[in-house]
Amino acid sequence: MLPHLRLQNFRCFGALELDAPQEGVILIGDNARGKTSILEAICVLVRLQSPRCSGFHTLTKLSTPGFGIAGDPWGQERKIKNTPSGLHLFADGEPRASRTAYLADGGLIVWMGNEDLTLIRGPGESRRHFLDFLGAQLDPAYRTAYTRYRRALRAKNLLLKEPRLRLPELIAYEDILIEHGTFLTESRARLIADLSPLAAAAQTDISGKDEALTLTYLPASGPCMKESILQARQRETAARQAVVGPHRDDVSIRLLGMTASDYASEGQQRTIALALKLAQGDLLHTRREKTPIYLLDDIFGELDPARRNALLHHLPPHAQKFITTTYLGWRDTSPQTNILPVLRVLENFVERIE
């Protein structure tokens, strides 16, 4: 998994080194000490993606020119250097020319945090991001299609904002949108079909109740994206932006047949969010035949002992788990975490206290 992690000028850390055994660690510390930043660094090292921001410029420690992250996930030495000259990627000492090349043989990540409630309560963007993060880990072609679709979408929206419509150029970009958007739509439909039974099973395990959880994919482009774009031409011209396509997709989440965002209780919504992330991990393990690293950011304090222990039981026993927390009182009712060493996060270093 990830035995060693090194940071330089990342977030609040000038320099940090951390060793983690196969089973993982518990990171304890006061708020704003950098516990979440350590988990974020692991996610960036493995997937080149932060769950907290869209770009890398905010990850650099203030008043420093750039940041570095290094580690050996799955036995392969990996290094990221973000400098004023750009992003530099290395695997086993060899430079990787692009993000796609870096991720081609990369590892897998499941992130769980309290912000996962936006999967239930938040806008469609949260649920699309959930699918995209999963899809890119399952199939490199998904990330390629997503990147090319977003580029063509930005170009189309710029054209739609011009005072005079340049139809030939618009159609050229729409051809790109149709090609890659169709791929994304079909891939997302398969993802939801595969996730649904896994999420339903995880929901039952965590809640301890027979509460039927159903997921339904809601494509914004209908059965044929080309036809949908043609039908929306006048509407898009008036709105001056693209209104159909995967960038408007959503997922319906229902519990006992009712919309979870409207009718599920706080506890039920938290359980559904956990079930979705557990299903994500189960699907990654099944399809990629590799166990993800689980990054659990301060979620145990919000769960009652029954749900917390059910979550721990559902996690793969051989998976490496990095858990952040501000206190350890919850461990009294979750003895299965006693095998995990406890590291206190301090300024620029961590110390083992258990």
Within the chain, residue ranges assigned H as helices are: 35-47, 99-103, 118-121, 124-138, 140-160, 167-207, 225-231, 233-239, 260-263, 266-288, 305-314
pLDDT at 256 over 90: yes
203 domain-assigned: yes
For residues 264-283, average pLDDT: 96
For residues 213-226, average pLDDT: 94
Co-location of 130 and 234 in the same domain: yes
Co-location of 303 and 275 in the same domain: no
Local structure of 206: helix, strand or coil: helix
- Residues 175-191 pLDDT 10s: 999 999 999 999 999 99
Spatial CA neighbour of 203 closest among 125, 122, 269:
269
For residues 70-82, average pLDDT: 96
Q: What angle do CA 253, 255, 260 make, to 5 degrees?
A: 55
Domain boundary among 263, 289, 315: 289
44 domain-assigned: yes
The pLDDT value recorded for residue 332 is 85
The pLDDT value recorded for residue 35 is 95
Domain of 297, CATH number, reads: 3.40.50.300
Co-location of 235 and 322 in the same domain: no
- Structural domain that includes position 99: 1-108+290-354
Co-location of 198 and 277 in the same domain: yes
Domain of 270, CATH number, reads: 1.20.1050.90
Co-location of 277 and 300 in the same domain: no
Could you give the CA distance from residue 55 to residue 189 in angstroms, rounded to a whole number?
A: 28
Co-location of 199 and 181 in the same domain: yes
Domain boundary among 247, 270, 289: 289
Domain boundary among 241, 256, 289: 289
113 domain-assigned: no
DSSP assigned state of 55: S
294 domain-assigned: yes
DSSP assigned state of 323: E
pLDDT at 323 over 90: yes
Distance of CA 205 to the CA centre of its chain: 22
DSSP assigned state of 123: -
Co-location of 131 and 267 in the same domain: yes
Could you give the CA distance from residue 158 to residue 152 in angstroms, rounded to a whole number?
A: 10
Could you give the CA distance from residue 175 to residue 190 in angstroms, rounded to a whole number?
A: 23
Co-location of 187 and 296 in the same domain: no
pLDDT at 57 over 90: no
Co-location of 63 and 185 in the same domain: no
115 domain-assigned: no
pLDDT at 335 over 90: no
Please give the tally of structural domains in the chain: 2
pLDDT at 81 over 90: yes
118 domain-assigned: no
117 domain-assigned: no
Co-location of 9 and 133 in the same domain: no
The overall pTM is greater than 0.85: yes
98 domain-assigned: yes
Co-location of 269 and 295 in the same domain: no
pLDDT at 55 over 90: no
Co-location of 224 and 319 in the same domain: no
